[in-house]
Amino acid sequence: MRLRARVKLISYISASVLVIFGAGIVGFNMAENYRTRTQYSYQRSLSQLSDYCSSIKTTLEKSSYANTPPQQYGLASKLMVEAEGAKNALSQLPVSQNDGEGIQKYLTQVGDFASFSIGKLSRNETLSKDNKSALKKLSEYADNIAPKIEELSAKFGDGEENIGNAVALKSNFGSDTEPNQKSSFDNSFLTVSKSFVDYPSLIYDGPFADSVQQKKPKFTENSKECSAQQAQKILADFVNRDYREITYREKRKGVLPVYVFDGDNLYGTVTVKGGYVCEVYNTDYPSDDSKIKYKETLQKAEDFLKRQKVYDMKDSYYVIHNSVCTINFAYSQNDIICYGDLIKVGVSTVTGDVVIYNAEGYIMNHTERNTENNLISEQKACESVSSELDIISSQKALIPMQNGKEVLCYEFKCKGKDNENVLVYINARTAMEEQIYILLQSDGGTLVM
């Protein structure tokens, strides 16, 4: 009996060891597969960022030599697309706000300068000496930055070194402590960002102003802080995933403090105050031929916002790029469109799934406004619209200005003499023209200049 019992005990122990060992192998393989997929997603985004930065460098160089308005216009349009693509690729990399702030600001200025140039050239105006000086400055930084990003892409593109900081992956989601160590990728990207230490603000009469970026978020102003663990569950509910599939990465400081998370082909942020989902980027979507038209993607985006209990949003403009239709939604208060309260929703034109969500503009600006005092009539505002334009429709709109403030206007949608679509904004209190935009519409969306 003793021998039989001993044999049984040894058999049970051996079986248990084999089960535990097998489970360990399965768990290791699952973890390894997840790590591989995450790294592949990061490598793809870094490669895209490198390609866009190289294209920006080339386009800026060509722009400095372009001497005719048609050529300048074409290059500025190309530059705008490249800057937006680079910003999107950067947003999908595990780079902290502090480490990426310099290049993020640079890309924003490149895009806004391109937009400004397009608008000026569309009005048959020429780029001034100061404009060309700003262009030269942008080009000089591109010459410096593009090779460094290309070097980063080559270094981390073969998968030998991980992108991201493993030390920052915490199991204690209630902890707000910052990681004390940086990965090789973090240090490499920090080196690139140091190139912008003395980077100046470009001063030109375009739409960009640093003061707008430096204001405090209004929507979360009186909200209580939530923990990283609470934010993790909020994000999981938002993307309809198990919270254990999402990993806390860091608490990002700055103008809008957020918790940063990632997961299988997922990047997301949740505000520290209030626990509002700020950004979601799902990188796992096909880039095949589009099957879904704009109206269907719009319906899917509207349904998505309703499911998230985000109401009173009105669609304005959209762009289709890389098999994703990104639609801008602005808050509507008493039939007044508040363009600063912006939410971007990106829908795959292949699957119909929501793959992009960005509510930073909404969180930064959303508040209830007092807008109805001392307004001129719509008829009076019409008198300030050029007789060269035919007014098609009108509505009230709050538009953000360079100084960070908002102005209540009558928005007039018009047709120009060459049948182009034009938006004119007339101050609803002074009858002054505040802004004029020309709309370029195509199958790929609407470009506002």
DSSP 135-168: HHHHHHHHHHHHHHHHHHHHHHTTSSS-SS-GGG
pLDDT at 41: 74
Count the helix, strand and coil residues of the chain and give each as a percent rounded to the nearest 5.
45, 25, 30
Q: Which helix (H) or strand (E) holds 399?
A: strand 390-400
pLDDT at 408: 93
Model pTM above 0.85: no
Distance between CA 112 and CA 116 in Å, rounded?
Answer: 6
Could you tell me which of 179, 146, 157 has the C-alpha nearest to residue 93? 157
* 344: Cβ contacts below 8 Å, ≥ 6 apart: 326, 327, 328, 329, 356, 357, 358, 359, 361
Enter the tokens of residue 167: 């030390």
Enter the tokens of residue 67: 């001497």
pLDDT at 44: 81
- pLDDT below 50 — which residues of the chain? 26-32, 34, 165-181, 203-214
Distance between CA 352 and CA 346 in Å, rounded?
Answer: 10
pLDDT at 136: 85
Amino acid at 44: R
pLDDT at 338: 92
> Cβ distance 281 to 267 under 8 Å?
yes
The tens digit of pLDDT for each residue in 233-247 reads 999 999 999 999 999
pLDDT at 347: 93
Amino acid at 437: Y
- The neighbouring-strand residues paired with 261 are 248, 268
> Cβ distance 319 to 261 under 8 Å?
no
Distance between CA 243 and CA 245 in Å, rounded?
Answer: 5
User: What are residue 270's phi and psi, to 5 degrees?
Assistant: -130, 135
> Cβ distance 105 to 87 under 8 Å?
no
Amino acid at 290: S
> Cβ distance 251 to 178 under 8 Å?
yes
Q: Are strands 277-282 and 324-333 parallel, antiparallel or unpaired?
A: unpaired
pLDDT at 369: 86
User: What are residue 414's phi and psi, to 5 degrees?
Assistant: -130, 165
Distance between CA 397 and CA 332 in Å, rounded?
Answer: 9
